[in-house]
Each structure stands twice: as structure tokens, then as C-alpha cells.
Amino acid sequence: MIRIGMLTSGGDCQALNAAMRGVAKTLFNSKEDVEIYGFLNGYQGLIHGKFRLLTYNDFTGILTQGGTFLGTSRTPFKTIQIPDEDSLDKVAAMKQNYYKLQLDCLVILGGNGTHKTANLLREQGLNVITLPKTIDNDLWGTDMTFGFQSAVDIATDAIDCIHTTAASHGRIFIVEVMGHKVGWLTLNAGMAGGADIILIPEIPYDLDKIVKKIKERHDQGSRFTILAVAEGAISKEDAKLSKKELKKKMENYKYPSVSYEIAEQLAKKSGLEVRVTVPGHTQRGGSPCPYDRVFASRLGSEAGKLILKREFGFMVGYRNREIVKVPLEDVAGKLKMVDPNATIVKEAKMLGISFGD
Ligand code: F6P
């Protein structure tokens, strides 16, 4: 008999259900007796003992469904070791529920914050296997996370739609792309959507360089310009500020997001009409794309294989086109950012894309 607990934590993304189905089908199709307990709404379910016993049927018909059938929540790592308002020791509570159910392993699907807590639970002696989910693709130790390709598709669609209206009106358009503190999603959707300017957190921008690029395009006869701007994009001036100074600036920040700040400054400097489009959480919604369905199923299946071999303490990741197991202690707390000197950035520049640097 093997007994596992499963949970999804942090912001949702496409293919969470496909990944859980991959784990469950692999286990149910093995020769072992298997019990799977699903904890509801992320670590909250594990902390407060909210779970249900799942059957084979819970995992059928969910391959194509977005979201997570277990529900999710954000339980920030920085709060995990601080007792809550009822003086509950969250780590002790999670351990207690794990032992009460006599679990052999926890399967945890999540991004950066989730991995820090997963690693803490491993350090506390629990058996843990994790799967890398996030549209941001910022998890260290894996070239790709599931959810990312689906989000690239949606953000690209948004840029495609903006392209036609921008061309008709001869306007400057900013499409703001998610990605938190990294630029993977913006870089990929920007290139796929034929953006003229791509601004990512890893390459601070200079507004004058952006204006120069727009002018160049106008001189070459293009009436419109598309900017793909990461929600975490930062100007060269702001990048020089200390954390404290930046925090102070943000206290009096009057814009809903960086794109609106850039839009106002661009309109002033160029005298052109600028519009902002923010696809926002649509990038995390809807069905997973076929790539993510296959990718998440493969990762899930490999996770199932590790569990059957009683190999714990790993994230199942993807490197150099191979599925690999990465020690959790290597993953936790590290961010995978776009290298400003990466080949893909150089190629984008050779295509004439400006990064505003
Ligand atoms: O990590 C995924 C993500 O969608 C980021 O791209 C974005 O910054 C953040 O989550 C939004 O979080 P929330 O859904 O809590 O607003």
C-alpha cells in the first residue's frame, strides 16, 4: 500500500489537472494499492486538515480542464513559520496531518514560494515530490514549467489582436504581459507576436531609446508600434535605486502598473497616441495548450514513477529536452531569470527588436 497526499499551491495555471492526472493514473495503473488524499486550497488544506480521499474517477475527464480541481491559495513562505492569529504552528500542523493520514509522500504542485515551503517540509522529515507549475517559467532547475506555453499562446493572441487595430489607427500600443519579476513570458509572446519593442525586468529600459525606435519606424513608413511590456519592467533610473528607495517611490505611485507610466511618458515625448492593453489573468485561464497537456502528463507520470521507487525529495523538471529529477534543496529560493546576453535575446535584437537598452 502506498498513501500519498496531493496539493496545488500559489497562483493557478493551465495543466495543473493534467499533471495531477499524470501522477494518479501512473500510480493507479501500477501493481500497488494506492490511496490518494487531495488537500483543498493549497497548503491551507494541509494546515487545517481539509482533504478528501480521491478515486480514479476524480482524475478522469480533467486533462483539458484549466485551473485546479483541488483549489489553490497563496500561503507566503515568509508567514509559514509564524503562528497564525489562533496561535497555530502551521509547520507542526502540516506534519501532524501528514502523520495522522500515515502518508508515504506529499505531491506538491507549485512555483517559487511553494517550493520553499515544500523544501522546508522535506527538511522537517516529510517525503516530498514536487512538480513545476507557473506561467512565469521562473523556477530554477527546469528549462520549462507547465502553464508557460499556454500563457505564451494567450499573450501572443492578445498581441496579434492589437496588431490589426494598431495598424489601422497608426497608434502606439503597449501590451502588458504577466511574469512577475522575470521576462520569459514577455520575451516569448513578444517575439511570437512580432512586437517591435520588448521590455523585460532583466534589461532595464531607457525611455529615449524607446522613442528613438518609434521614430525610426515612422521614418521607415510604419505608422504603428507594438510594445510587449513585462509587468515587472523597470527603467534604468529605477534599477539604480536601492530596495528602500524603490519602495518609497511605489508608495506614491499613481499608475495602475508600469505600462501606464510608460504610456504617459511616451505620449509626452513622442506626441503620438498611446494605448495600453492588459490581458491580465486571462493568461492563466482556460484550457492548457496541447504542448502543456503532454508536458504536464509526462512530468506527472515521472513523478508517479519516483514515488513507486520510493525516491523522494525531488522536483521533476526538464533540462536539455530530458525529464530529470532535481534535488529540492537546489531549487528552493532560486529564481531563473532571462540572461540579457542569452542567444535568444541576441537573435531578437538581430531581428530588429529593441529592448530599450
Ligand atoms: O505567478 C503567476 C502570476 O500570474 C504572475 O505572473 C503575476 O505577477 C501573479 O501571479 C499575479 O498574482 P495574483 O493572481 O495573486 O494577482
Domain co-membership, 154 together with 226: yes
CA 284–ligand 1 middle distance (angstroms)? 9
**pLDDT at residue 238, rounded to an integer:** 96
CATH number at residue 248: 3.40.50.460
Comparing C-alpha atoms, which of 235, 147, 230 is closest to residue 190? 230
What separation in angstroms does the CA of 36 have from each of 195, 209, 299, 325?
45, 55, 18, 22
Domain co-membership, 177 together with 221: yes
Mean pLDDT of 19-36: 98
Query: Ligand 1, closest atom to CA 74?
Result: 15
Residue 326 near residue 142 (C-beta atoms within 8 A)? yes
pLDDT of 139 strictly over 90: yes
Q: How many whole angstroms separate alpha carbon 6 and alpha carbon 15? A: 15
> Across the strands, what pairs with 325?
316
Provide the H-helix boundaries in 54-147. Answer: 77-80, 90-100, 112-123
pLDDT band at 85, cuts 50/70/90? confident
Q: How many whole angstroms separate alpha carbon 88 and alpha carbon 82? A: 9
Q: Active site residue: 12, 136, 138, 153, which one?
A: 136
**pLDDT at residue 261, rounded to an integer:** 97
Domain co-membership, 211 together with 234: yes
Mean pLDDT of 237-249: 94
CA 280–ligand 1 middle distance (angstroms)? 9
Domain co-membership, 70 together with 183: no
Domain co-membership, 73 together with 157: no
**pLDDT at residue 84, rounded to an integer:** 84
pLDDT band at 140, cuts 50/70/90? very high
Cell numbers at 133, concatenated: 507549475
Mean pLDDT of 208-221: 96
Cell numbers at 227, concatenated: 510594445
Domain co-membership, 206 together with 319: no
Encode pLDDT of 280-317 as tens digits: 999 999 999 999 999 999 999 999 999 999 999 999 99
**pLDDT at residue 74, rounded to an integer:** 94
pLDDT of 232 strictly over 90: yes
Encode pLDDT of 5-20 as tens digits: 999 999 999 999 999 9
Which residues in the chain belong to E strands, given as ranges?
2-8, 34-39, 51-54, 105-110, 128-132, 172-177, 197-199, 225-230, 274-277, 314-319, 322-327
Report if residue 168 sits inside a domain: yes
Report if residue 340 sits inside a domain: no
Cell numbers at 1, concatenated: 500500500
CATH number at residue 82: 3.40.50.450
pLDDT of 228 strictly over 90: yes
pLDDT of 86 strictly over 90: no
Mean pLDDT (the chain, rounded): 97
Mean pLDDT of 101-123: 98
Q: Please say if 292 is a catalytic residue.
A: no
Query: Ligand 1, closest atom to CA 232?
Result: 8
What separation in angstroms does the CA of 14 have from each of 64, 146, 287?
9, 7, 6
Residue list, ligand 1 pocket, CB within 6 Å: 11, 74, 111, 134-136, 178-180, 231, 284
Report if residue 292 sits inside a domain: yes
Domain co-membership, 306 together with 276: no
Report if residue 229 sits inside a domain: yes
**pLDDT at residue 137, rounded to an integer:** 98
pLDDT band at 107, cuts 50/70/90? very high
Report if residue 273 sits inside a domain: yes
Domain co-membership, 7 together with 117: yes
Domain co-membership, 103 together with 162: no
Count how many domains the chain has: 2
Range of the domain at 259: 149-284
Mean pLDDT of 82-109: 95
- Residue position matching grid coordinates 502551521: 90
Report if residue 353 sits inside a domain: no
Domain co-membership, 198 together with 309: no
Report if residue 343 sits inside a domain: no
CA 136–ligand 1 middle distance (angstroms)? 8
